Amino acid sequence: MSDAAPSSTPPETVTTPTEPATATTTPAPAVPVPAAAPFTDEATTTPAPAVPVPAAAPFTDEATTTPAPAVPVPAAAPFTDESLVESIKQRTSWRKYEGAPLTPAERATIQSFLDDDRLMTGPFGLRVRVVLVDKDHEGKLGTYGVISGCSTFLVGKLAERGNPTDGSDFGCVFERLVLRCTQMGLGTVWLGGTFNGPEFSRAAQCAPGERVVIVSPVGHKTTKRGMMDGMMRTFAGSAKRLAWDKIFFRPAGAALAPLATPAEAGPLAVPLELARLAPSAVNRQPWRMVVHATAPATVSFWGVPDKHGFSRNDVGIAMCHFETAMAAAHLAGAWVATPPEGAVPPEKDAFHVATWRV
């Protein structure tokens, strides 16, 4: 199985760092886990969102009013852009679960996502491969004690030698899954480091040239966070996000100026705020956005290098939030690979990932 056509370009996937190591401006974090991504919190400096995000359409569950089907089929709950905006606001990482398996209907719903080519294809055309794997049937699936009470995982795979855009395609698509699971009331947490790679690769039946890049438990959350969850959240500073003026910019003559307040973003205030809330590895928030125009919107998304190699993936997550919010607000546009003319965000080695434009 291959996720992307082999390319002559160097591999640049979510777990294959291609950004120069020298570009990382934060000190190397301590390594608390055996796998790739340590989780510390140098990036978070400001309290979480102050910008009011209008309430989205309430999540409705029409499954409760329609007749029960003979075989488990996807629940009838509509996954609308509005309801997914609500999921963006509600989602947080969850690491402790009740132990009860997914119901057949829940499994069928999730499987329907994984089989949906449109949902599973990223902005740059990669058909992302994610499989549901069970601990019971597949043997040991270690998470170094980070996850408890959950035996089912979403396991995301990428070709080892793919295209530079694979990382952002993967991040965008996997977050679409996370938001849908959130709407179903299920817990998730992106895991890029704290999982046993060989065990998950075997269970997910990786083909030659393919590797597991991200896994997430998916299941019924406990009502209270576990101690390990609390520790990981404190470690990563998970409740905080960078301030607007650190990540959003606007052209000012030949240079860029910070876009410091939602008022300056006009109709893009909510989509940008929801992009700001995206999860990222170690909560580093390696995204910067330049608002070239607000109506119609032209917004370029940039990554800043991260020695863990998750920058493109994380920008993809922010893109997922942004595109969902734009759709919910009926604001037009699509992703293109070419940046507009103009200045680059004032961050060492910032690289263009995608631009949203009409």
Element (H, E) at 11: none
d(CA 111, CA 353): 29
CB atoms within 10 A of CB 316: 31
Nearer to ligand FMN, 92 or 112 (CB): 92
Which range of residues in 119-127, 151-159, 231-239, 242-250 is near ligand FMN by CB under 6 A? 231-239
H-assigned helices in 94-133: 104-114
Among 16, 152, 238, 355, binds ligand FMN (CB under 6 A): 238
Binding mask 112-151 for ligand FMN (x = CB under 6 A): ----------------------------------x-----
**15: contact with ligand FMN by CB under 6 A:** no
Neighbouring residues of 320: CB distance < 8 A, sequence distance ≥ 6: 171, 172, 173, 175, 176, 179, 278
The number of C-alpha atoms within 13 Å of 275 and in the hemisphere containing its C-beta is 31
Which range of residues in 56-64, 97-105, 119-127, 192-200 is near ligand FMN by CB under 6 A? 192-200
Nearer to ligand FMN, 237 or 262 (CB): 237
d(CA 330, CA 130): 29
CB of 172 to ligand FMN, least distance (A): 12
**19: contact with ligand FMN by CB under 6 A:** no
CB of 280 to ligand FMN, least distance (A): 5
**How many binding residues for ligand FMN (CB under 6 A)?**
23
CB of 357 to ligand FMN, least distance (A): 26
Please name which of 295, 278, 266 lies closest in space to residue 85, comparing C-alpha atoms. 278
CB of 264 to ligand FMN, least distance (A): 25
Please name which of 293, 303, 109, 325 lies closest in space to residue 218, comparing C-alpha atoms. 109
Binding mask 205-224 for ligand FMN (x = CB under 6 A): --------------------
Binding mask 299-328 for ligand FMN (x = CB under 6 A): -----------x--xx--x-----------
Nearer to ligand FMN, 87 or 194 (CB): 194
Neighbouring residues of 339: CB distance < 8 A, sequence distance ≥ 6: 300, 352, 355
Which amino acid is it at 131?
V
**283: contact with ligand FMN by CB under 6 A:** yes
285 backbone φψ class: left, alpha, beta (φ>0; ψ -120 to 50): left
CB of 168 to ligand FMN, least distance (A): 12
**232: contact with ligand FMN by CB under 6 A:** yes
d(CA 235, CA 133): 28
Compute CA 349 distance to the chain's CA centroid, rounded to the nearest angstrom.
Answer: 22
Q: Are 280 and 286 in contact (CB under 8 A)?
A: yes
**194: contact with ligand FMN by CB under 6 A:** yes
**37: contact with ligand FMN by CB under 6 A:** yes
DSSP conformation letters of 16-60: S--S-GGG--SPPPP--SSSS-----SS--S-S--S--PPPPPP-
Nearer to ligand FMN, 178 or 268 (CB): 178
Among 123, 162, 164, 192, binds ligand FMN (CB under 6 A): 192
Among 16, 24, 40, 93, binds ligand FMN (CB under 6 A): 93
Nearer to ligand FMN, 39 or 113 (CB): 39
Which amino acid is it at 209?
G
Residues of this chain that bind ligand FMN (CB under 6 A): 37, 39, 92-93, 146, 189-194, 232, 236, 238, 279-283, 310, 313-314, 317
